[in-house]
Amino acid sequence: MKLLTGLVAALASFTAIVASPVENERMVEPRQGRLQQVTNFGANPSNVKMFIYVPTRLAANPAIIVAVHYCTGTAQAYFNGSPYARLADQKGFIVIYPESPYGGTCWDVSSRQTLTHNGTGNSNSIANMVYYTIGRYNADPTKVFVTGTSSGAMMTNVLAATYPDVFAAGIVYSGVPAGCFVSSSGAVNGWNSTCANGQSRTTAGHWAQIVRDMYPGYDGPRPRMQIYHGSADTTLAAPNYQETIKQWAGVFGYNPDSPESTQQNTPQNGYTTSTYGDHLVGIYGQGVGHSVPIRGDDDMRFFGL
């Protein structure tokens, strides 16, 4: 018994010795060049997990991309399945991969909390990850970007609407307009079939008001937006493309029915690129389903990286 107690104590102290440098490293100096969880990023009112990728060769005053996963996804899955970490290695920016706290790992894009600036929802937790990263790595606050796929694309629109002062640009891969998934009962992480089926349609002016109401009183600059959607999307029906275009066109004062320019078969065969103005580009993939494949190099150009 005594021997066993001693052995356990010895093992415990051995574990402590072995564990402490790892713990210290995690607390003080997150290891660069690998995906890493950050647990101490500040207020996290909706329990979103934060993962970060800091490339080994980090730029001075690096840019930040927030890359938001799809339902059933994880930070690790989006790290593996999207091109942003590889691009970070080339260009020296930081990637934040938030991870949904809910079963099924969709994002809360339905509650009043998440649809409000500093409203204690998922959007608030993710904005706090950005503030932490700017401070910790001396990142450039004018070069913070957001992108995501599906539920992550919905969150991209929500972050652009709730934190227009944080994000310089957003790229939406197969989402719905900000506020389209709103729950009439206030449900957190609710599914909204009306919106998903493409039946939530309103005017550009009304969609824009929905955005402005997420941060009342804000009258500063807003992020440039690029919207991808596929015509054959059966998860978030195709009308969500035009509704999202209407939303941001309304915000920026563009005519959603009359782009400045339209290029067929751009950026690839079957896609049409419509430019509404400096702040809004739509890219519609004919016959493309859910979700549109990520175009990493094009994303870098849109973000100016």
Q: Write out the catalytic residue numbers.
A: 150
- In the complex, the smallest distance separating the C-beta of residue 207 from ligand NAG, rounded to whole angstroms, is 10
Closer of 82 and 111 to ligand NAG (Cβ):
111
Of the candidates 63, 70, 88, which has an alpha carbon nearest to the alpha carbon of residue 233? 70
- Based on its alpha-carbon atoms, the radius of gyration of the chain, rounded to whole angstroms, reads 21
Phi, psi torsion values for 227, nearest 5 degrees: -115, 115
- In the complex, the smallest distance separating the C-beta of residue 192 from ligand NAG, rounded to whole angstroms, is 4
- In the complex, the smallest distance separating the C-beta of residue 197 from ligand NAG, rounded to whole angstroms, is 10
Phi, psi torsion values for 285, nearest 5 degrees: -100, 110
- In the complex, the smallest distance separating the C-beta of residue 121 from ligand NAG, rounded to whole angstroms, is 13
Between CA 107 and CA 135 the distance in angstroms is 26
- In the complex, the smallest distance separating the C-beta of residue 147 from ligand NAG, rounded to whole angstroms, is 22
Q: What's the full length of the chain, in residues?
A: 305
Closer of 82 and 192 to ligand NAG (Cβ):
192
Closer of 118 and 231 to ligand NAG (Cβ):
118
Do the bridges between strand 35-38 and strand 224-230 make them parallel or antiparallel, or are there none, so unpaired? unpaired
Closer of 6 and 186 to ligand NAG (Cβ):
186
Which residue number has the CB closest to ligand NAG?
A: 200
Of the candidates 298, 299, 301, 294, which has an alpha carbon nearest to the alpha carbon of residue 73? 294
Closer of 54 and 109 to ligand NAG (Cβ):
109
Residues of this chain that interact with ligand NAG (CB under 6 A) are: 117-118, 180, 182-184, 192, 194-195, 200
Helix, strand, coil shares of the chain, percent, nearest 5, are 35, 20, 45
Closer of 105 and 128 to ligand NAG (Cβ):
128
Q: Beta-strand (E) ranges in the chain? A: 35-38, 49-53, 64-68, 94-99, 144-149, 169-173, 224-230, 261-264, 271-277, 280-285
Question: Which residue type does 193 have?
Answer: S
Between CA 38 and CA 15 the distance in angstroms is 22
